[in-house]
Amino acid sequence: MEPLKLGLQDVCRVAGESMPVVYDAINAGHLETFLVGRRRFARPEAVRKWVDFLEAQSNAGKPVVYRARKDERVSA
């Protein structure tokens, strides 16, 4: 049986992304998660949906950038 929920470290591992990118995706509303106690989880379907979103954006010529490089950051 496939796991019903993935911890954020597992999300990072299966998606091949870093923890800051995963948190940015959550904050942007691109990755749906839920809390159990104080821990955050995502369903495998939500991770697939997020990766599909990233692929669709890339194919449309609008790749998603969660972390701007130092020289691309805008100061307020």
Q: What is the pLDDT of residues 36-68, one digit of tens each?
A: 999 999 999 999 999 999 999 999 999 999 975
> What confidence score (pLDDT) does residue 71 get?
56
Rounded Cα distance, 45 and 53, in Å: 12
Q: Binning pLDDT at 50, 70 and 90, where does residue 76 land?
A: very low
Domain count, the chain: 1
Q: Which range marks the domain in which residue 42 is found?
A: 6-68
Adjacent-strand bridge partners of 42: 6
**Is residue 40, in this structure, part of any structural domain at all?**
yes
**Is residue 73, in this structure, part of any structural domain at all?**
no
Task: State pLDDT tens for residues 9-44.
Answer: 999 999 999 999 999 999 999 999 999 999 999 999
**Is residue 63, in this structure, part of any structural domain at all?**
yes
**Is residue 76, in this structure, part of any structural domain at all?**
no
Residue 72 has pLDDT above 80, yes or no: no
**Is residue 74, in this structure, part of any structural domain at all?**
no
